[in-house]
Structure 1
C-alpha cells in the first residue's frame, strides 16, 4: 500500500483523531447575523412608517384622495375602522386629541403596534426569539366584542363623541 492509501485507511479506523474544532466565528459574521435578525422588524417598521408618512402627507379630510367606507356609503353606519385614516393623519401630525376624536380604537392600535415593534426590535437585537402575537380564542372574541360595542356606541346619539 502506498502512503496515501494508508492515510485514507487510517482515517477510516476508530482510532482516527477527530478533526480540530473550528475557530469561533469572526466579528463580521456576528454583525451579519445581527443585521439579518434585525432586517425583518426594521423593514416592517419602515413599511409602517412609510404608510403613516403617506397618510400624513395626503390629507384624508379632503374629498377624493381615499375611497369612502363601503359600509358607511351603503348603510350610513360607522364601522370600527371609520375615521381611521383621519386618525392616522392627525396622529402623524402629533395631534392626539384629533386622532382620538376621529377613531379612538385606532389610536390604541397605534400604541399597541409601537409596543410590539419595540419588543421585536429589542429581542432581535439581543438575539432572542421573535415575539409571537398568538392570543387564545377567548381574547380574540373579547377584542371583537370591544370592536362591536365601540361600533354600536359610536352610532348612537349618546356616543356621538366617538364618531369621526
Structure 2
C-alpha cells in the first residue's frame, strides 16, 4: 500500500468533512446564543416580518423560543411553541448524519436531498400548517 496515497485519501476525507462539520458548528453556535439570549424577553431579536405586516403567524413563528426551550431541556414548551420545528429536527439530524457518514466514507455528495414527491409533500404540510395555525380551531398551533 502506498503511504502517500493513504495520506492523500485521509486529507481528502478531512476536506470532505469540513462542510458537515461547519454546519454542525454553526448550528451549535446558534443553539448556544439562543440558549443564553432569551427570545422571550422583548428587544433581543427582531419581530417576524410576516407577523409584523399581517398579524398572522408564519410557519417559523416561535422557532427561536422553541430552540431556547430545547436548549434548556424543555421539550413540552418547545412543542407548544412550534410543533412543526420540533417534528423536523429528527429529520434534519438524520440528513446531517447521512451527509457526515458519506463524507467520512469519501463518497460523493448526492445532488438531490430527497425524491421530489417528498419535497412537495413537505411543502404541502408547511402550507397547511401555516393556514391552520391562524384559524380559530388551530389556535393550539400558535406560539
Q: For 1:129 and 1:29, how far apart are their aligned partners in 2?
A: 16
Aligned with 1:111 (options 80, 86, 90)? 90
Q: For 2:115 and 2:34, how far apart are their aligned partners in 1?
A: 29
Q: Which has the higher helix share?
A: 2
Q: Which has the higher contact order (CA 8 A, sep 6+)?
A: 2
Verify: 1:81 aligned to 2:60, yes or no.
yes
Describe the superposition over 1:97-116 as per-residue Cα deviations: whole angstroms up to 9, x where unpaired: 11111111111222221111
Q: For 2:31 and 2:87, how far apart are their aligned partners in 1?
A: 15
Q: Which ranges of 4 or more aligned residues in structure 1 deviate by more than 4 Å?
A: none
Paired position in structure 2 for 1:121: 100
Larger CA Rg, structure 1 vs 2: 1
RMSD across aligned positions (CA):
1.8
After TM superposition, list the pairs within 5 Å mapping 1:25-40 onto structure 2: 25-26=3-4, 27-40=6-19
Structure 2 portions without partners, runs of 5+: none
Structure 1 portions without partners, runs of 5+: 1-22
Q: For 1:126 and 1:147, how far apart are their aligned partners in 2?
A: 34
Number of equivalenced pairs: 141
Calculate the TM-score normalised by the size of structure 2: 0.87
Q: For 1:50 and 1:113, how far apart are their aligned partners in 2?
A: 16
Calculate the TM-score normalised by the size of structure 1: 0.77
Q: For 1:141 and 1:34, how far apart are their aligned partners in 2?
A: 33
